[in-house]
Amino acid sequence: MPAKINLLLAVGPVRADGFHELATVFHAVSLYDEVTASAADDDGVSVTLSGRYGSGVPDDQSNLAVRAAHALAKRRPAVRRPTVRSGVRLGIRKEIPVAAGLAGGSADAAGALLACAQLWQLRLSNAKLATVAASLGSDVPFSLLGGTAVGTGRGERLRPVPVGGTLHWVLAVADGELSTPDVYRRLDELRAGRPVPDPTVPDELLAALAAADAPALAGLLHNDLEEAALSLRPQLADTLAAGRDLGALAGLVSGSGPTCAFLTRDADAAAALASGLAASETCADAVAVVGPAAVGA
Ligand code: C5P
C-alpha cells in the first residue's frame, strides 16, 4: 500500500463537526507498507509488525489496521460465508514513516480492508468499502484508491485525475513526528481574524498533471498546513531551503508534516537530490520515489 503526498492542500473553514473543509490533490508515491491477512484460530484480530518503522506503531487493538478489520467484520453478517472464520492475523511490514504526513496509518487501514475482504470472501462494492474507509479516517478512502485524485469534503470525497507520465520526487524524512490535530489547531490559531477563502483546486494544476509537466507543476504546489507545521517545527525551513538549494524544482511540507516532498525533473535529478539531502544534516533520511503509484504494487 503506497504512501501519499498532497500536491495541493487548501484548507477551508472549520465545519460544525470539527473537521476542516478541504480541496486537496492526493498523489500516491512508491514507498510502500505491505499488509497481509491470514486466518486466525479464533475470532479475534491481531497484528504483527515488522520493517523499518514497525516499532513506531501500537500492536494492540488501537492499531488503525486492527480497527479497520473490526469495522469490516461488522459488515459481514449479511454476506458472510458460514465456512469462513471471522478472526484474522494481520501482518504489516512498515516502511512508511509514522505520523509523518504520508498517510502511513491510512495505507495500513486500507490494506487491512482489502486483505480482510479477500480472506473473508466478502463481495463489497467499492462504494461500501469506501464508506467503511471514511469511518476510519479522512485519508483512508484515498489510500484504497491510489494514483492521483482530487479530494473534497474532509478529504473523503474523491475524483481520480489523470497524470500523463511519471513524476520524480524526493521525500525528506524528519526525525520525530507531528500530530495532525495539533497542526490543524495551530493553523486555526495563526489564521484567527484572517478571512479563510473556500478551498479550490486550480485548473492549471490539473492541466500540469495531465501533461506530467514537472516545471509547470512546480509553480502550483501548495500546502496551507505548511505555515502551521513550520511554526511547530521551525527546523523544517532548513530542510526546504536545502532541497531548493540542491536543485529541486519545488518543495513543500507533505500533508501535516514533518516530511518534506521535493519535485525534480527526472530520475537522475531525484537520485542526486536524495543523496545531497541525506548528507545535508537537515533531515533524518531522504528517499527518491515516483508517482502516481498504484495500490497493490
Ligand atoms: O480524519 P483523521 O482521523 O485523519 O483526522 C485527524 C485529525 O485531523 C482530525 O481529528 C482533525 O483534527 C484534523 N482534520 C481536520 N480536517 C480534515 C481532516 C483532518 O481538521 N479535513
What pLDDT digit, counting tens, does each position of 56-96 carry?
A: 999 999 999 999 999 999 887 544 555 566 789 999 999 99
Instruction: Look at 5-19, 78-92, 167-181, 239-253 and tell me which has the smallest mean pLDDT.
Output: 78-92
Q: Give the Cα separation of 135 and 211 in Å (integer).
A: 34
pTM recorded for the entire structure: 0.96
* 20 Cβ closer than 6 Å to some ligand 1 atom: yes
CB 104 within 8 A of CB 96: yes
* 152 Cβ closer than 6 Å to some ligand 1 atom: no
Catalytic positions? 4, 139
CB 220 within 8 A of CB 204: yes
Instruction: Look at 176-180, 249-253, 258-262, 267-271 and tell me which has the smallest mean pLDDT.
Output: 176-180
* 285 Cβ closer than 6 Å to some ligand 1 atom: no
What nine digits make up the cell of 73? 467484520
Question: What is the pLDDT confidence band of residue 43, given thresholds at 50, 70 and 90?
Answer: confident
pLDDT tens sequence across 171-223: 999 998 999 999 999 999 999 989 999 999 999 999 999 999 999 999 999 99
- How far away, in angstroms, is 33 Cα from ligand 1 center? 22
Q: Cis ω on the peptide bond leading into residue 258 (within 30° of 0)?
A: yes
What letter does residue 192 receive in the DSSP assignment? T
CB 198 within 8 A of CB 12: yes
- How far away, in angstroms, is 295 Cα from ligand 1 center? 23
List the residue whose alpha carbon is closest to atom 3 of ligand 1: 137
* 21 Cβ closer than 6 Å to some ligand 1 atom: no
- How far away, in angstroms, is 181 Cα from ligand 1 center? 6
Look at the alpha carbons of 214, 251, 182, 140 in this order and tell me if their dihedral is positive or negative.
Answer: positive
- How far away, in angstroms, is 285 Cα from ligand 1 center? 26
Element (H, E) at 184: helix 180-191
* 138 Cβ closer than 6 Å to some ligand 1 atom: yes
* 155 Cβ closer than 6 Å to some ligand 1 atom: yes
**Predicted pLDDT of residue 86:** 73
Ligand 1, residue 185: give the atom nearest the CA. Answer: 12
Pocket mutation for ligand 1, best pick of 21, 98, 184 (most atoms within 8 Å of C-beta): 184
